[in-house]
Amino acid sequence: MSIDLQPILQNDLLTILPLEEMDFDTLYHVASDPEIWEQHPNKNRWQKEVFEVFFEGAIESKAAFKVIDRVTEAVIGSTRFYDYNQEENSILIGYTFYAKAYWGKGVNLLVKKLMLDYIFQFVTKVYFHIGAENMRSQIAISRLNAEKVDEQVVTYYGELPMHNFVYKIESRDWQKTKVKFMTA
């Protein structure tokens, strides 16, 4: 079974669409806030020339998305699938960021739910690289019941190697987590 790494995903509040080259200016408008990147491994992604490299990697991945608020139709962030491993039957989700106005509103959980529900049709394990200093993302990923399984030095596209924590969630665990969210 072939995996489409850029499906269109949506719920009542959000639409996740494949990222396209013409989205640069709109997405950079969101990404140009230095506070978004304070805890990320590359704290300079708010700078246009650094973000251009990040965006180039997103486009080349053919697995990156823009996240859209369905009420306002505004682009509010980005995320992507990457490093599909057929032998291990796994993939990573990451390179995620959102506009500050959407922090603390459950957007990350809604996006990850859409992505996990989709990708677990094809893989049994999903990993996440999270910067060792990125407490916001570590807290967010713990809400999904992902487990910290490793620490790695990760070289993101066109960037210097950075210390990351590796989290994992397996399909069977996600099914239990989803039930818990639905009954909460």
Q: Kindly report whether the global pTM for this prediction surpasses the value 0.75.
A: yes
165 forms bridges with which residues in the sheet?
130, 151
Rounded to whole angstroms, the Cα distance separating 143 from 121 reads: 21
Query: Does residue 160 or residue 128 have the better pLDDT?
Result: 128
Q: Mean pLDDT across the chain, nearest whole number? A: 92
What is the average pLDDT across 76-92? 96
Query: Does residue 41 or residue 11 have the better pLDDT?
Result: 11
What number of CA atoms fall less than 13 Å from residue 99's CA on the CB side?
Answer: 15
Residue with tokens 């996006």: 111
Structural domains in the chain, sorted by start: 9-183 (3.40.630.30)
pLDDT tens digits for range 87-136: 999 999 999 999 999 999 989 999 999 999 999 999 999 999 999 989 98
pLDDT at 184: 47
